[in-house]
Structure 1
């Protein structure tokens, strides 16, 4: 299994590439890149919430807590003063770092249902619903948020499967097939509960009809303009991050 640092590094690269691709395709603006990138990285860290207690897992929940705290507070910058934003940030961080961590450590088994396609669907749809109902995003940005979280989650599970293959000795390790599976074969009740969760989240999710006209195999992309678009996107992210940090600390 890939270690925590490997997961984090690869998820950062993949999330950055996907975010840049969305911006190049005109699906997101430059000032929206940072939140989508953060969602991708957080999605890539989520599968190991079912691990036993260890330093990487403690670090994982610290990163998750801080990341979710920023994701929850950034959309509220215009609605609350700095002191209340700080309290909201601290509350979200403490709930994730200690509350969710304790619950998951008691109720989950490593490489169980949270390492499955059902879990990817659940995380994706949960993010879509949070973006739609809590952050009040329109359907299309909400589904993009879910897409980023789902891609990050899939990246993590794919890495685990890749590390289950011993290329030099041409053999499969015992862990092969335990990370990226349709559902948990050893715990059917957990699988049924996850399936019910996925169906409920799909029913609550906003309609995705607007996607029908957004994608085309003939979508023109000017390759000569890509370097400039990358530079503009990076600059927009830097400016937005500076503005957010100034507002949060001011």
Structure 2
């Protein structure tokens, strides 16, 4: 698979490019570009929560926990003192780093269902719901946030497949080809579970509030 640095730089870079393009088109404000950058980076790290490499997993999940913790802290910045915000940040960091990701790593295998397109879409959907219902973001901004996570996630899957195809100079096509950019897992139960989750979550998503129409006519297209 592609290395951690490749995943991180690609997701962060594309998040910045897409965010800047949306800024030019009047879709995002400057602060939205920064948040989109972090969310795309987070999406680029999420598939490796099932990684076998403990060093890779530790680094990736530390960065993901940091991003989530800062988002939570920003959400409540107007209602608490600095000391309270720092305590909130630390609590969120410890929760995600040692509890949430700890449970996930124990229940998953590397290149399992987390490395799949339905998992990427589900991550985007869940991000939309969390941003809208938990953080109180507006409908359009929540959808954009979910889109940034989906962008980073899909880029991760594509990079892993490119590594398997010898794009990065590895000798020969690797046996892992087709194990990342896929629509299902060899195990039927998890596959049915993720598709059922998509079916249940989709009707609960907030209305995009004309986002698609605005994207279609944005003055940022074309960007050159």
Same fold (TM over 0.5): yes
1:125-136 equivalent positions in 2, closer than 5 A: 125-136=125-136
**What TM-score does the superposition give when structure 1 sets the normalisation length?**
0.83
| Residue in structure 1 matched with residue 32 of structure 2 by the alignment | 32
Deviation track 1:73-105 (CA, whole Å, cap 9, x = no partner) reads 112111221122111111111111111232122
Aligned to 1:150: 150
Shift of 1:200: 2.0
| Aligned-partner SS, 2:179 | coil
Shift of 1:30: 1.1
Report the Cα offset of residue 222 of structure 1: 9.4
Note closer, same or farther for the CA distance 1:85–1:169 as it changes in structure 2 (3 Å cut): closer
Q: Which runs of 5+ in 2 are unaligned?
A: none
In the alignment, the residues of structure 1 paired with residue 94 and residue 218 of structure 2 have an alpha-carbon distance, to the nearest angstrom, of 47
The range that moved more, 27-36 or 127-136, is 27-36
Work out whether 1:104 is the aligned partner of 2:104. yes
Could you tell me which runs of 5 or more consecutive residues in structure 1 were left unpaired when the two chains were aligned. Answer: 225-250
CA–CA distance in 1 between the matches of 2:204 and 2:170?
Answer: 48
Q: After superposition, where does 1:83-122 map in structure 2 within 5 Å?
A: 83-122=83-122
Could you tell me which residue of structure 1 aligns to residue 8 of structure 2?
8
- How big is each residue's C-alpha offset from its partner over 1:82-132, in whole Å with a ceiling of 9 and x where there is no partner? 122111111111111111232122110111111111111110001100111
Change (3 A) 1:223 1:205: closer
Taking the TM superposition and a 5 Å limit, the aligned residue runs for 1:101-250 are 101-166=101-166, 172-184=173-185, 186-216=186-216, 219=219
d(CA) in 2 for partners of 1:195, 1:92: 29
Residue 80 in 1 paired to residue 58 in 2? no
RMSD: 2.1
CA distance in 1, matches of 2:220, 2:19: 18
The separation in 2 between residues aligned to 1:51 and 1:169, in whole angstroms, is 20
Matches of 2:217 and 2:96, distance apart in 1: 41
Structure 1 residues 26 and 171, CA gap change in structure 2 (3 angstroms) = same
Note if contact 1:53-1:105 (Cα within 8 Å) is conserved in structure 2.
no
Residues 98 and 222 of structure 1: CA distance in aligned 2, closer, same or farther (over 3 Å): closer
Q: Distance in 1 between matches of 2:71 and 2:37?
A: 11
Larger-gyration structure (1/2) = 1
CA apart distance, 1:31 = 2.4
